[in-house]
């Protein structure tokens, strides 16, 4: 388990979208340099005062690159602290350095927040070595313990910020993925249904154009109507994409529109059976029932050979709504094994609402789509 965790950390990539420099970075560097100069001038008992001040002031600009080059900054900052610790150890000075140099903890935070796993491991090793040398050179008891806790706190804060940003990014990606899948379902339902109707009308018009020119004109008029509706619905979806509004804000047809859907459908005849006292449905259920019926009807138009009738039946009972779409055509042998985007989209719609879907050949002939949905949707 420990080996797997270390291996996972070692291969961890850098955090994305690290900002190079912002205005507050320059303010931080300016404040640090002024504080170091004031401490170097006003504080009594500073060992090797000129060296300590030069190091504290000279290292301050390293903060500007802490996000884009976190390991290099840690190596420079704590390498300098390591050199001061060795100098103190070898020269016999009590402690070389200013208290202002506590700003190097910001580098530890940045290392864990923005660095790759490999950089984090190497950088924390450098920090540990520098801290160990400093402790050996000038052990002051509880103060050194507090310094160790400060390093751990800086690393922990970097990890916390990194985890929070990663969680937010994953949530955003999941939201965008759900939105894309929803829009993909809408586009498929719109295009597949209307284009199938156009294709059927075009085939019928071509077949009867020679014997009944007036019927061919009626087919052309139907094709024009379907094309116009397709364009209008696709514009609604594109408007959602351009405006950045949620897909659910796009106009959604419902159960009441099934009768109009049946009237527009070309042969075979489509019968719709709706309950007279249908309760007001949640918008999600209302829209899903329509899309399921639309997709089932589209499949019947495309695959039901020699069908004379398609029946759409909606029944409500005890908090459940059942949609049943059947046809009496000959079954296309390829239909039972074809799993296209239509069936996938229907299954996803039903599962999102906690319902069930069954689609397959009827016992005698034809095809049946049977969906059951709750009429109360959890929010």
Is 50 domain-assigned? yes
Residues 135 and 260 in one domain: no
62: confidence class by pLDDT, cuts 50, 70, 90: very high
Mean pLDDT in the chain?
80
Q: pLDDT digits over 295-315, tens only?
A: 888 888 777 777 788 899 999
CATH code: domain of residue 295 = 3.30.565.10
pLDDT confidence of residue 109: 94
Is 70 domain-assigned? yes
Is 223 domain-assigned? no
141: confidence class by pLDDT, cuts 50, 70, 90: very low
* pLDDT for residue 57 is more than 60: yes
Last residue within a domain, chosen from 139, 165, 187: 139
Distance of CA 322 to the CA centre of its chain: 32
249: confidence class by pLDDT, cuts 50, 70, 90: low
pLDDT confidence of residue 244: 57
Is 38 domain-assigned? yes
Last residue within a domain, chosen from 89, 121, 139: 139
Last residue within a domain, chosen from 115, 139, 163: 139
* pLDDT for residue 138 is more than 70: no
Helix (H, G, I), strand (E, B) or coil at 320: strand
Prediction pTM value: 0.57
CB 226 within 8 A of CB 197: yes
Is 157 domain-assigned? no
Per-residue pLDDT, averaged over 158-184, amounts to 80
Element (H, E) at 239: helix 213-243
Is 19 domain-assigned? yes
251: confidence class by pLDDT, cuts 50, 70, 90: low
Higher pLDDT: 195 or 70? It is 70
CB 264 within 8 A of CB 225: yes
Is 192 domain-assigned? no
Helix (H, G, I), strand (E, B) or coil at 359: strand
Residue 263: which domain range? 254-379
Q: pLDDT digits over 64-98, tens only?
A: 999 999 999 999 999 988 888 787 777 666 667 78
pLDDT confidence of residue 76: 93
Is 148 domain-assigned? no
pLDDT confidence of residue 337: 43
Per-residue pLDDT, averaged over 44-52, amounts to 83
- Count how many domains the chain has: 2
Element (H, E) at 374: strand 367-374
């Amino acid at each position: 388990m420990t080996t797997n965790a270390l291996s996972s950390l070692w291969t961890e990539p850098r955090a994305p979208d690290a900002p190079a420099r912002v205005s507050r970075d320059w303010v931080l560097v300016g404040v640090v340099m002024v504080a170091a100069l004031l401490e170097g001038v006003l504080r009594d008992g500073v060992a090797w005062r000129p060296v300590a001040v030069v190091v504290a002031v000279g290292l301050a600009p390293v903060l500007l690159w802490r996000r884009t080059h976190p390991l290099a900054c840690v190596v420079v900052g704590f390498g300098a602290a390591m050199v001061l610790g060795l100098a103190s150890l070898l020269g016999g000075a009590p402690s070389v350095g200013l208290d202002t140099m506590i700003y190097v903890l910001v580098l530890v935070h940045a290392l864990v927040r923005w660095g790759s796993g490999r950089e984090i491991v190497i950088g924390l090793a450098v920090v540990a070595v520098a801290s160990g040398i400093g402790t050996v050179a000038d052990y002051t008891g509880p103060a050194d313990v507090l310094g160790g806790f400060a390093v751990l706190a800086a690393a922990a804060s970097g990890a916390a910020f990194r985890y929070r940003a990663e969680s937010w990014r994953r949530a955003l990606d999941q939201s965008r993925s759900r939105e894309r899948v929803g829009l993909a379902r809408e586009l498929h339902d719109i295009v597949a249904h209307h284009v199938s109707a156009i294709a059927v009308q075009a085939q019928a018009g071509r077949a009867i154009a020679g014997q009944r020119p007036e019927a061919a004109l009626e087919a052309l008029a139907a094709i024009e109507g379907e094309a116009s509706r397709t364009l209008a619905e696709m514009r609604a979806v594109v408007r959602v994409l351009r405006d950045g509004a949620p897909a659910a804000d796009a106009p959604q047809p419902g159960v009441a529109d099934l009768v109009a859907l049946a009237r527009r459908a070309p042969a075979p005849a489509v019968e719709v059976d709706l309950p007279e006292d249908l309760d007001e449905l949640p918008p999600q259920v209302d829209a899903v029932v329509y899309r399921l019926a639309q997709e089932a009807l589209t499949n019947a138009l495309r695959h039901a050979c020699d069908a004379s009738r398609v029946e759409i039946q909606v029944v409500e009972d005890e908090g459940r709504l059942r949609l049943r779409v059947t046809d009496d055509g000959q079954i296309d042998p390829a239909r039972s094994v074809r799993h296209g985007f239509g069936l996938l989209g229907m299954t996803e719609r039903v599962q999102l609402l906690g319902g069930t879907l069954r689609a397959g050949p009827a016992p005698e002939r034809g095809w049946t789509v049977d969906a059951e949905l709750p009429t109360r949707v959890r929010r």
